[in-house]
Amino acid sequence: MSKQKSKLFLNADWYKLFLIIVSLTLIILILDRIFNSAFLHSANIILIFISLAVAVLGVLAELKNTNAILNRNTQIAHYASDILKKSLEELNTIKHDVKLNEQVKSIAYRDINRLTIEEAILARLHQKDFNTTYEMIEEIESKTDYANLAEKLRKSADKYKNASENERIQQVVAHIENLAKNLHWDQASIQAERLAIQHPDITSVVELPTKIRKMKEQKKTQLLKDWEKATNSGDTDRSLRILKELDKYLTPSEAQALEESVSGVFRTKLHNLGVSFSLAVSQKNWETALETGEEIIRDYPNSKMAHEILSKIEVLRERAK
């Protein structure tokens, strides 16, 4: 409680004290002029110095608080930049993944877009910009693919609008935690940081960014255990699936530490694909041979096997027709 009062004094109430001291100074100055008292004159000088000191301390406190907010906002801007970069990477991955047919690509794009739309609308809602929120919901409501999303967002908007301030905060916290549970770490981190800035006196909110980071670390630890188990058991396909997810969590130094293990998994996978390709060719199963050959060329373009298959790929395509 004392800490909270201290913050209020530094950030808001200092000027009230300043005004009180200035008022007392003026009163004593008037009395001094009337009574011409040495005591009143000395008291007046002391009060002037005190008022100046309070003013200086108050301004310094405000500057310190403003600087802290700017630093936090800069961090959020960096988080937002990272999200945009990762979103573009996800879209490029989908675009260049030749294994995905057009229908699957469409679903993948839509899932990313749904998350972007939902976050944009909820951001407006949490800023209490209700008019814009409902306008955006009405706009996406006209899109067939997003009808269910619009209904969900309208219910969230109604619930938030009709709630008390404390209930609204809890709703935002629940939304952030749900983002984290669904592994949308960047979005969860940004919103947690923003909420902590808006409510610096609520302990559970201030601790939320740390909680999100711990959840992410726990997921990373679990993936590392799963990776070790899959590689030890020789389950190459599962190892690669885990590696694809784990790659989002590893620092450069951690990735380097796993490099030898990863190389072993890729070598085993390439060997298995080579065996499957040879078997398909020997059995004249040209469709399977073509599919396996194209996978080798795509995933292992610098391998000797890929170059050999590439030189015969047109023959395989003709026979697979």
Residue 51: phi, psi to the nearest 5? Answer: -65, -40
Mark out the alpha helices in the chain (DSSP H runs): 2-8, 14-35, 38-96, 102-126, 130-141, 147-161, 165-181, 185-198, 203-206, 208-232, 236-246, 252-257, 259-282, 286-299, 304-310, 313-320
What is the per-residue pLDDT across 141-162, written as a single tens digit (0 to 9) for each? 877 677 888 888 889 899 999 9
**pTM value surpassing 0.75:** no
What is the per-residue pLDDT across 28-76, written as a single tens digit (0 to 9) for each? 667 666 666 666 667 667 767 776 776 677 667 666 666 655 555 555 4
Residue 159: per-residue pLDDT: 92
DSSP code, position 101: -
DSSP code, position 12: I
Alpha carbon distance 77, 55 (integer Å):
33
Instruction: Report domain extents, the chain.
Output: 1-82, 217-320
| Share above pLDDT 70 across residues of the chain, in percent, rounded to a whole number | 69
Summary mean pLDDT of the chain:
76
pLDDT of 129 strictly over 60: yes
Report the range out of 6-15, 108-117, 193-202 with the highest average pLDDT.
Answer: 193-202
Residue 256: per-residue pLDDT: 81
What is the per-residue pLDDT across 232-284, written as a single tens digit (0 to 9) for each? 888 888 888 888 888 888 888 887 888 878 888 888 888 888 888 888 888 88
Task: Report yes or no: 296 and 277 within 8 Å, Cβ to Cβ.
Answer: yes
